[in-house]
Amino acid sequence: MGICASKPPRPNPYASREEREALENPTPSKTPANGHANGLGRKDDTDAGKKSPFFPFYSPSPARYFLSKKSPAPSSAAASANATPRRFFKRPFPPPSPAKHIKALLARRHGPNNATAILEGDESEGGDVAGLDKSFGFSKQFTSRYEVGNEVGRGHFGYTCSATSKKGHLKGQLVAVKVILKSKMTTAIAIEDVRREVKILRALAGHNNLVEFYEAFEDHENVYIAMELCEGGELLDRILSRGGKYSEDEAKAVMVQILNVVAFFHLQGVVHRDLKPENFLFTTKDENSQLKAIDFGLSDFVRPDEKLNDIVGSAYYVAPEVLHRSYSTEADVWSIGVIAYILLCGSRPFWARTESGIFRAVLKADPSFDEAPWPSLSTEAKDFVKRLLNKDPRKRMSASQALSECFLSLKKVRILVVSFFSTAYNLLFAGHPWIRNYNGVKVPLDILIFRLMKAYMRSSSLRKAALRALSKTLSVDELFYLKEQFSLLEPNKNGSITLENIRMALMKNATDAMKESRIPDFLASLHALQYRRMDFEEFCAAALSVYQLEALDDWEQHARCAYEIFEKDGNRAIVIEELASELGLNPSVPVHAVLHDWIRHTDGKLSFLGFFKLLHGVSSRTLAKAQ
């Protein structure tokens, strides 16, 4: 399994002369036609190829050469039968495989025989658990309701077939039936995954780019999920049939549909966790057919302020924070970035021969934008993909932001909030080709807005003043997104919003999934808006993301301009103890060690460094370092 790249081993000074000579001059062995002695060491590559077939048009990433080296250790067959095992090392151990603990977790989730990756050593845990309840409470009338047709796809836990409805409102209609084998459900977690998949499909309804769920059945052997039949094939098949050649406009048409549906279920509090081209189907064979998201088998409900920690997904599309076991909806956006990269250039951004190598590339390597066709693509397209593939989830765009910005992110024109509705602004955006070609696209309500507003409402008055100063340096496209979000909250006639506006906007967009993810309960954190109003200028300060702005090339200019505004409007003399109180620091924190460089010694006001740090707040790392 996980192969770690390392330097060749030095000769063991404690080995016998015969052993050293044998290692320095190994006897050549017969190599089979595939180029690997005894056919060993290729099982992982073969399995990886079966799970994610290589694109024939793929040009390998430069990272593959240092991420996929084979272990230099000699095979056991090469060593003498009477040799003493090596127990002395002149170099550090190679780094552990990042896939090792992940595969153990997959085994515990699905059982050792169903794990989607091969285990190392004796890490297989779980297996068949006696007394598992595999009854789901679904209808048992499948055979009387549907006549099964041909198989249309097969996965690890079952298969999908077409079927014809015999009765009811779907009578005579062709549907798709996902058949999940109960014999494959060898752990309680696997059973819960199926139960949750049906619950999510039932709860999420009413979006054009989401496969329509009809009903669920079960019998002693299987679970049957009846849903809309999409006959146009997978997005992956279209990519392969085109040789990976999508123009920017064609890629945009696909990305708009993907971003639209992902923003929809993120608002409902659902994270998909397995977005990839195989999980998007076209409804018909037509070139401009509608795209539908499928397969919610690994999906889960998540609150805006909650983090998930179980490792699931597909190796090429998994986000770095998933491997670190602390993630939320941003992990889906990373997967969309991988899809966008493939659509635009026809190759994967992260590649290696083993899953361990892929995970290492995801964690450490950066995607290449130097090889063809990237130099010929627009700067906006490259920037768009880069902002989706930012390894820091806090700096990554949300699906709704990506949909509103789509390739607009480099059109930077400085404009103050007070002049937002100027004629020049309207003319600028009316003429952009993206808006011209896709003027029917509506930017959905973004769940990220509520998370940022919660942080703002809990901030000190000094930090709010700093955020207001920063909001006055926003660019046109950033204000465009915020204006769209503000209008979706349906402000009152006087141009302000209250807690009731937010509640009504959520209910207007709510499905049953939103109740399951307890998003309405999250509104309690915004209770301060129950007694006051928030205008658009303050909304911009509350809903902007400092981390996302920090990811832009001109962040320093943003910060300098904001500090100049802050100096005029919000900066004041403050002592360290008062600043510590403003920040809500614990009395046990050594405030002078933490905050001494935040204040100018000349006039006692906040320095630029203090202003910069105030925007982010005091990190736990800073506190730990001070203590």
Tokens 């598992």 sit on residue: 132
Tokens 């940022």 sit on residue: 452
In 3-state terms, what secondary structure has residue 151?
strand
> How crowded is residue 576: how many other Cβ atoms within 10 Å of its Cβ?
15
Q: Residue 45 corresponds to which amino acid?
A: D
Q: Residue 142 corresponds to which amino acid?
A: F
Q: Is 182 annotated as a binding residue?
A: yes
Measured CA to CA, the distance from residue 157 to residue 150 in angstroms comes to 18
Residue 120 per-residue DSSP state: P
Measured CA to CA, the distance from residue 258 to residue 339 in angstroms comes to 10
Measured CA to CA, the distance from residue 441 to residue 438 in angstroms comes to 6
Measured CA to CA, the distance from residue 123 to residue 105 in angstroms comes to 9
Going by C-alpha positions, the residue among 381, 366, 525, 361 that lies closest to residue 449 is: 525
Q: Of the residues 44, 193, 274, 295, which is catalytic?
A: 274
Instruction: Check: CB of residue 274 under 8 Å from CB of residue 421.
Output: no
CA 236 to chain centroid, in Å, comes to 19
Instruction: Check: CB of residue 273 under 8 Å from CB of residue 254.
Output: no
| ∠ CA 452-312-211, rounded to 5° | 80
Measured CA to CA, the distance from residue 531 to residue 499 in angstroms comes to 8
Structure-block tokens of residue 196: 């949750």
Structure-block tokens of residue 40: 């060993």
Measured CA to CA, the distance from residue 331 to residue 390 in angstroms comes to 11
Measured CA to CA, the distance from residue 446 to residue 543 in angstroms comes to 10
Structure-block tokens of residue 506: 């959520």
The answer to whether the peptide bond before residue 373 is cis (omega within 30 degrees of 0) is: yes
Measured CA to CA, the distance from residue 450 to residue 366 in angstroms comes to 31
Measured CA to CA, the distance from residue 171 to residue 18 in angstroms comes to 79
Structure-block tokens of residue 574: 């403050």
Known catalytic membership, residue 274: yes
* End-to-end CA gap in the chain: 42
- By annotation, the residues acting in catalysis are 274
Extract the annotated binding site: 182
Extract the annotated binding site for ATP: 182
